[in-house]
Amino acid sequence: MKTKSKRAPKGRKPPTRKRPSHRKNGAVVLPGAWKPHLDMYRDLRALQFSSAEHFAAAAKLLWSAELRDLPYDLTGKHTVIIPQEAIGYFKGLTFTETEVLSPNDLPSEELAELRRQQGPY
């Protein structure tokens, strides 16, 4: 039985493999390589931007092709929570970086006090 090899139609280039996206800041991420949920990342960071303009620029970056699938959370006061691996994309903007703690990172007494003050969730 004779088989045909697949070729691109005349005038069209054959499809290419996805290649890593390289940025000046050294971050390299394959397109679509972000995990779908923040809960799937071990190290989270809160970035609090110094001004509404820098926060707006960060929001614009979140809609770029490289970060469109990045999970994030907006917490108010010009702050966004992102995976630690994504910080490099925001270089050039002015922000304060803070580690996001999980309940397991807190002593049980401190966690109990927070739950009394704020409720369980």
For the chain, which residues make up each domain, given as ranges? 37-118
Q: How confident is the model at residue 17 (pLDDT cuts 50, 70, 90)?
A: very low
Rounded to the nearest angstrom, the gap between the alpha carbon of residue 119 and the centroid of all alpha carbons in its chain is 28
Percent with pLDDT over 90 in the chain: 59
Most confident of 13-17, 96-100, 106-110: 96-100
| Rounded distance between C-alpha atoms, residue 87 and residue 72, angstroms | 12
What count of Cα atoms within 13 Å lies in the side-chain half-sphere of residue 52? Answer: 0
Could you tell me which CATH number the domain at 37-118 has?
3.30.70.790
Does pTM surpass 0.85?
no
118 SS3 class? helix
Tell me if 95 sits within 8 A of 61, measured CB to CB: no
pLDDT in the model for residue 111: 86
- Four-residue CA torsion sign, 25, 27, 30, 32: negative
Q: In this model, does residue 4 exceed pLDDT 80? A: no
Q: How confident is the model at residue 105 (pLDDT cuts 50, 70, 90)?
A: confident
pLDDT in the model for residue 30: 53
| Rounded distance between C-alpha atoms, residue 118 and residue 39, angstroms | 21
pLDDT in the model for residue 95: 97
